Amino acid sequence: MTKTAIASIAIAMAISAGLPNISWADTIKIANVIELSGAGATVGSNWRDALKLAFEEINAAGGILGEKVEVTDYDTQTDPTTSRAMVQKAIDDGAYVIMGPIYSGSVKVNMMVAQQNGVPQLTGAEAPFITDMGNPYIFRTSFGAQQSMPKLVKYLTEEMKVKSVAVAWVNDDFGKGGRDSFVAELEKSGIAVNADVSSEVGQADFAADVIKLKSSNADAIFAYLHEEESARLLKEIRKQGVAQPVFGETTLMNQKVVDLAGDAVNGVRGHVGLSANAPIPGIEEFAKKFEAKYNYKPDHNAIKAYMGAYVVKYVTTKNGKVDRQAFADALHGMTITPADEPGILMETSWDDKGEVNRESFLVEVKDGKQTVVTTLPKL
């Protein structure tokens, strides 16, 4: 009898007895390489907490193939060079799969280390180049900007009848990737860009930026910045009495922005890949569990991490073995539904580049809460 079979019998006996004392066959090491300090600490903390919740559930239900999942956090400090060192350390420590990071600039420099060592990596980053680099071991947990921006521009064109836009974006890999994808879609739809205003990560004063956006006389403002900077921009927009409607993509309507910007975020609309307020039973249940455990509302990064953990469980179980290459091979072209694995929350597919595809949402912030306007189909 194999050690896995022995562990399965022990788990079944423990469960039937209502006891938590499970005898594990072995340990599966998961590396959580994530932003736990620096500018990305907010998004990284959401991701870490949800990942911990998911793997606690998985272990309580018997682990994966009778093996206990052990998660180790590696803090990137929101620094690309540090993130690269953390990925290498995680691999040296025997990581089966790497979860994270979220910031595209970090993934840009650390994903090659994982690729060279044949380690699958599930990232929360959104810059388009990440899945265009031919890395067979990289997989997204969220849309790349090149997939989300067409949905938003379609809404601006068909529903809002917008003819011109002023664009505000943060000048890093995340912001430039999103800005370029958005502007490319505007050009396809014949929408003019009246102002193109970049800012820096951590920028505190947006007075001059808002003057440029306001004086552009564009029909709408599009903002694509990180959470803290988004909140500062919105406060300045309200301070200067800007009349144009403000749109964004995921981060602008993030719960952290709601918490920081207060009333300034009300009325903002945009596309979100995932939302804790989405009318999806699995997401609603997850959000309740998360808030009960951590006493704060999860954002889209938390949902990404939670789903990512269950991707690891589903693919490994389906393969019947803890094998990095088999994991990467299997996930390309795979679709997982909640019927297959409830922890996936929503039907999700991956293409041959590791790009993700699923339904998404158009939301408006009302009274400090994301309100889903409509659910958009898979591309």
Secondary structure string (H, E, C) spanning 315-356: HHHHHCCCCHHHHHHHHCCCEECCCCCHHHCCCEEECCCCCE
Q: Quick check: helix, strand or coil at residue 99?
A: strand
Instruction: Decide the pairing of beta strands 335-336 and 348-350.
Output: antiparallel
Question: What is the pLDDT at residue 168?
Answer: 98
Cα–Cα separations (whole angstroms), residue 58 to 64, 137, 222, 266? 7, 23, 40, 37
- Which is higher by pLDDT, 7 or 166? 166
Question: What is the pLDDT at residue 21?
Answer: 63
Q: Is the pTM of this model over 0.95?
A: no
H/E run at residue 281: helix 281-294
Checking if the pLDDT of 19 tops 50, the result is no
**Which residues sit opposite 269 in a β-bridge?**
247, 364
- The whole-number average pLDDT for the span 331-352 is 98
Domain boundaries, the chain: 27-143+279-357, 146-272
Quick one: which of 152, 144, 148, 96 has its CA closest to 124? 144
- Which is higher by pLDDT, 197 or 250? 197
User: Per-residue confidence at 188, pLDDT binned at 50, 70, 90?
Assistant: very high
CATH fold for the domain made of 146-272: Rossmann fold (3.40.50)
CATH of 27-143+279-357, one of 3.50.50.60, 3.90.190.10, 3.40.50.2300, 3.30.360.10: 3.40.50.2300
Q: What is the DSSP string of 253-279?
A: G-HHHHHHHGGGGTT-EEEES--TTSS
Q: Quick check: helix, strand or coil at residue 236?
A: helix
Residue 219: CB atoms within 10 A of its CB come to 18
* Whether the domain at 27-143+279-357 and the domain at 146-272 fall into the same CATH topology: yes
